[in-house]
């Protein structure tokens, strides 16, 4: 099955309103002639409305970096799925390793968020990945499987077809280290096999699995050429239009 590759930028805690508008304007120009790759960005909450407005009518999708699993309530500092759909975003990143490690989000909480996102017509980008210690211990596939199965608990096959999985080895996020294409492909293949067991082969083949972890224009093509890597969730390189566009173009070239 042919899957349209997806390159998404996770801006994390970067960019003011004016910087958001500038970056998105540059990015729109830089990828205007690329139609074989889906492009998405996840600015901080304060810039979401500006991003939606800037990108209105274009092909670049806008999403959020996190959300609460409740629709409303006494949750100081939190953002609900209703607020996200109201502002006009299309997707939400859930279970990122920084949320897990820094803010104590466990597998079960991530699973509740995934179900809430789907209930509100938001596409979940479900993140998973192992630490350096877990890779050295040989437990990569066990860790990723545990995270995925908990994250997908309660999700039905007809819902699963729309979601995105992002494999991000924790040891490669922001470190400059990158899994080799062969290492990444091995984990992506195991993820697709698990998805097939959970939802059936047809659904598994329709789900896009991104790679994340120090993806840059120089290594993108080799990674994207792997059969089960369907794009990238990009951190630091997404904060520069030329760099991010370089990844998009490398992905397009890998698929041509």
**Looking at the annotation, which residues are catalytic?**
96, 168
Q: What percent of the chain has pLDDT over 90?
A: 93
- Average the pLDDT over 129-155 and give the result: 95
- pLDDT digit string (tens) for 101-121? 999 999 999 999 999 999 999
Q: Using the CB atoms, write b or e for 79-114: b if 16+ within 10 Å.
A: bbbebbeebebbbbbbbbbbbbeeeebebebbbbbb
- Give start and end residues of each alpha helix (H) in 120-212: 132-136, 140-151, 157-160, 181-199, 201-206
Q: Please give the DSSP secondary-structure letter assigned to residue 228.
A: T
- The per-residue DSSP string of 232-249 comes to EEESGGGGSHHHHHHHHH
Domain definitions of the chain by residue range: 6-255
Record the pTM. 0.96
Pick the CATH number of 6-255 from 3.30.365.10, 3.30.2130.10, 3.20.20.70, 3.20.20.150: 3.20.20.70
Q: What percent of the chain has pLDDT over 70?
A: 99
- pLDDT digit string (tens) for 172-188? 887 877 789 999 999 99
Question: Average pLDDT of the chain?
Answer: 96
Other CB atoms within a 10 A radius of the CB of residue 177 amount to 12
The residue ranking higher by pLDDT, 174 or 197, is 197
């Amino acid at each position: 099955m042919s899957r349209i590759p997806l390159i998404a930028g996770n801006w994390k805690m970067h960019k003011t309103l004016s910087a958001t508008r500038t970056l998105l304007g540059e990015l729109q120009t830089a990828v205007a002639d690329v139609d074989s790759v889906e492009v998405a960005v996840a600015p901080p909450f304060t810039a979401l409305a500006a991003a939606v407005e800037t990108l209105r009518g274009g092909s670049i999708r806008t999403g959020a970096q996190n959300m609460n699993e409740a629709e409303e309530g006494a949750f100081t500092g939190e953002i609900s799925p209703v607020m996200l759909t109201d502002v006009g975003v299309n997707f939400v990143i859930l279970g990122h390793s920084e949320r897990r490690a820094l803010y104590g989000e466990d597998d079960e909480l991530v699973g509740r968020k995934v179900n809430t996102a789907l209930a509100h017509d938001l596409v979940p980008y479900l993140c998973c990945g192992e630490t350096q210690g877990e890779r050295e211990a040989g437990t990569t596939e066990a860790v990723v499987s545990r995270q995925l199965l908990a994250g997908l608990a309660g999700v039905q096959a007809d819902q699963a077809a729309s979601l995105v999985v992002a494999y991000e080895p924790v040891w490669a996020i922001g470190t400059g280290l990158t899994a080799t294409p062969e290492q990444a492909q091995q984990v992506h293949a195991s993820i697709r096999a698990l998805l097939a067991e959970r939802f059936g082969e047809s659904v598994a083949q329709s789900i896009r699995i991104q790679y994340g972890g120090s993806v840059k224009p120089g290594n993108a093509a080799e990674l994207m050429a792997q059969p089960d890597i369907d794009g990238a969730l990009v951190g630091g390189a997404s904060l520069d239009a030329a760099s991010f566009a370089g990844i998009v173009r490398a992905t397009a070239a890998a698929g041509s």
